[in-house]
Amino acid sequence: MKLSEIKPNGKNPRSINNQNAERLAKSIEEFPRMMELRPIVVDDDSVILGGNMRYFALKKLGYKDIPDNWVVKASDLTAAQKREFVIKDNSGFGEWNWDLLANEWDDLPLADWGVDVPGFGIDEIEAPELRDGDREPYIQMTFTLHDSQAETLNDAMRKAKEEGGGKSAVNENGNGNALYFIAERFLNG
């Protein structure tokens, strides 16, 4: 199918900034099968109902022709259903489980894949929300690091967890435990 046959939806209420457009294009370039598994949805007039940003990413990557299975035609929708689809397809109803992301998915480039990771990196992902009065005896710490420093710290914390430094009887925060494990090793030589 020719990419030029598909028409972006001029009434699509979502937009994408340049940084996220670059990340999306990179993700498609690195994993093009994603388009087969999550195709662009068009109506009978080939106007996009779902996938405008993927369409623009494909254009940015220089695609002229795309596999037919990267596009699905929704021919049986009423005008009201098309409008509903556009909104619901762009709505993020779910929320991320930051503890699970920090402990099970921290070896992946989540920010590059479109996850809006709060703060500088993994340590802040796992930080629990502590209300006033619930902080004792815990202290939340925030650091500002250069990307290369954050990468080094994340690698060190990952290694510390592999060596058993992510578990503690007094703290459930695996990243806090890993950082403590690293500091304890540094101080004790």
- Here the tokens at position 114 are 């479109």
Note whether 61 and 28 are within 8 A (CB).
yes
Q: What is the CA radius of gyration of the chain?
A: 22
pLDDT in tens, 121-149: 444 444 455 555 555 667 767 777 777 78
Residue (of 26, 19, 32, 40) closest to 116 by Cα position: 19
pLDDT in tens, 54-107: 999 999 999 999 999 999 999 999 999 998 998 888 777 777 787 777 778 777
Domains of the chain: 3-90 (3.90.1530), 98-188 (no CATH)
Q: Whole-model pTM above 0.85?
A: no
